[in-house]
A and B are shown apart, each in its own frame.
Chain A
């Protein structure tokens, strides 16, 4: 029995595959069913995939700093499906250049993300948050 369905993928024209694949394995190992959109995604790819799979969470990654451009107003893409409760996470190298982490987090929270992991390499932290947010308690 799966703990939940998670849509993951890399946004923008970023083609980093290793981190994406590791994230899939990490989530699967933690008991989730993963739908991996892989690379070169646009915001509506995530919202459409969430609708097809009735996902519990969407995890967006971006490693080349394009995230800020593509993620603006991200949650809006989910409104027309009435998925107000859907968890939205984002992680990676989210902005170009050095910026204060708190500022980056605030920006992406403003875009509608529930959790923001800027330059945090440990996927384990995000999975623990996911467990908690989905009511699975601590692992």
Chain B
């Protein structure tokens, strides 16, 4: 594969490069001093090479001189940062750990309480074990924790983030456990961002070893952050009117990927009656649907679509062929949905579940309060604003105004998120 090296990208000394490593595409943007994008390049991911090898080939080996260009990297390669959460209760420690993981750009693969621990949970990069406020008489959690056997789980690293008085108990159960301060401290809603900070810097702090990704840090002397965290920061800039992307009012950003569909939202759309709560004291939340996507999660998306009671309605809006034929073939499992249709299905299914709060830890939203739906990522480029509006319209009642639809055609949002940001945009 021929790819331009650093010289072809013509990055000047002192310049800034932003790199987003996805599972199928590597995006490289050269940033101008005023924060604009001077050039942007897309390279198919060459799976014959490791990520660091391909990136070195693309950018050349950075020189050690101080006036070299600087690189910021984010990655969602290899399914992003997979996190498993073991907590004491779903409403308190489960919610704090899940929300901090989500905002840090990690994908919670499971959240379960000690009482419902089971074997055969999927493998994760990081297993967070937490629960309880910091107190010296922890009560039932002590007995519950004693049943926890690390060998029942498959994980890269195990981090204990629960009641600090139980750290020694955890070390005796799992000698390899790292202990991080309890984000709950003496509250039920979260007193610190310890888990957010931990996961946001997981690639940097050697908490997560991802083939190829972990080698980047010494090579480019740069930060490597989870892409969804970067996109979330970009979204925060947009909704606080600090971006070039104009948005007015409550907004939802959807990033449909190969393995997951990512949802970023302003929290004022969450229904007061919602059982699950958005992150504490934050105006922006995130949720990830790990079963909705157009490549790796294709099969689960198809099953969801096929069994959805409004499947036919959706198809009438998005397929160009004869709907009855497509519908029949789909129901019989004979239809291979093209990527664009899968992307519409991900959009529809994600929003429909968001409206009902149908997902572990997912709050329920009032979609009629949303004034803008934004889409970003590769899959979004295949879609049309008009059809997106129709799909969204399926989920809103008639009296509701047509929300604005925007597609991030020039991949502006992740670049907004990767530039240094001011402190006001940090959660909490």
Most buried by B among A5, A40, A42: A5
CB closest residue in chain B, given A80: B115
Complex Cα spacing A35 to B188, Å: 8
CB closest residue in chain B, given A37: B188
**B132, CB-defined interface residue at 8 Å:** yes
Most buried by A among B93, B138, B188, B275: B188
Give chain A interface residues in 24-78, CB to chain B under 8 Å.
33, 35, 37, 40, 42, 44-45, 48-49, 51-54
Chain A positions within 8 Å of B186 at CB level:
33
Chain B positions within 8 Å of A37 at CB level:
188
CB closest residue in chain A, given B184: A52
Complex Cα spacing A80 to B137, Å: 19
Contact of B272 with A52 in the complex, beta carbons under 8 Å: no
Query: What is the CB-to-nearest-CB distance from B226 to chain A, in angstroms, rounded to a whole number?
Result: 28
Chain A positions within 8 Å of B141 at CB level:
51, 54
Contact of A81 with B140 in the complex, beta carbons under 8 Å: yes
Chain B positions within 8 Å of A82 at CB level:
140
User: Size class of B's contact patch?
Assistant: 20 to 34
Complex Cα spacing A49 to B186, Å: 12
Contact of B272 with A40 in the complex, beta carbons under 8 Å: yes
Complex Cα spacing A80 to B88, Å: 13
**A109, CB-defined interface residue at 8 Å:** no
Contact of B115 with A54 in the complex, beta carbons under 8 Å: no
Chain B positions within 8 Å of A52 at CB level:
88-89, 92-93, 131-133, 184, 188
Point out residues on A near B: beta carbons under 8 Å. Answer: 5, 33, 35, 37, 40, 42, 44-45, 48-49, 51-54, 80-83
Complex Cα spacing A81 to B137, Å: 15
CB closest residue in chain A, given B136: A54
Name the one of A33, A44, A53, A54 contacting B91, with C-beta atoms under 8 angstroms. Answer: A44
Q: A37-B188, A40-B272, A53-B133 are in contact. Are A48 and B92 (CB under 8 A)?
A: yes
Query: What is the CB-to-nearest-CB distance from B92 to chain A, in angstroms, rounded to a whole number?
Result: 5
Contact of B188 with A51 in the complex, beta carbons under 8 Å: no
Point out residues on B near A: beta carbons under 8 Å. Answer: 88-93, 115, 131-133, 135, 137-141, 184, 186-188, 272-273, 275
Chain A positions within 8 Å of B89 at CB level:
48-49, 51-52
Chain B positions within 8 Å of A48 at CB level:
89-92
Contact of B135 with A53 in the complex, beta carbons under 8 Å: yes
Q: Which 3 A/B pairs are nearest by Cβ-Cβ distance?
A: A54-B139, A48-B89, A48-B91
Complex Cα spacing A136 to B132, Å: 25
CB closest residue in chain B, given A41: B91
Contact of B140 with A49 in the complex, beta carbons under 8 Å: no
Chain A positions within 8 Å of B88 at CB level:
51-52
Chain A positions within 8 Å of B93 at CB level:
52
Complex Cα spacing A5 to B184, Å: 16
Complex Cα spacing A83 to B186, Å: 21
Complex Cα spacing A82 to B135, Å: 19
Complex Cα spacing A9 to B93, Å: 18
Chain B positions within 8 Å of A35 at CB level:
187-188
Can you spell out 28 A-B residue pairs with CB atoms less than 8 angstroms apart? A37-B188, A40-B272, A40-B273, A44-B91, A48-B90, A48-B91, A49-B89, A49-B91, A49-B92, A51-B89, A51-B139, A51-B140, A51-B141, A52-B88, A52-B92, A52-B93, A52-B131, A52-B133, A53-B132, A53-B133, A53-B188, A54-B132, A54-B135, A54-B139, A54-B140, A80-B115, A81-B140, A82-B140
Query: What is the CB-to-nearest-CB distance from A51 to chain B, in angstroms, rounded to a whole number?
Result: 6
Chain A positions within 8 Å of B135 at CB level:
5, 53-54
Complex Cα spacing A82 to B142, Å: 13
Name the one of B92, B137, B275 contacting A54, with C-beta atoms under 8 angstroms. Answer: B137
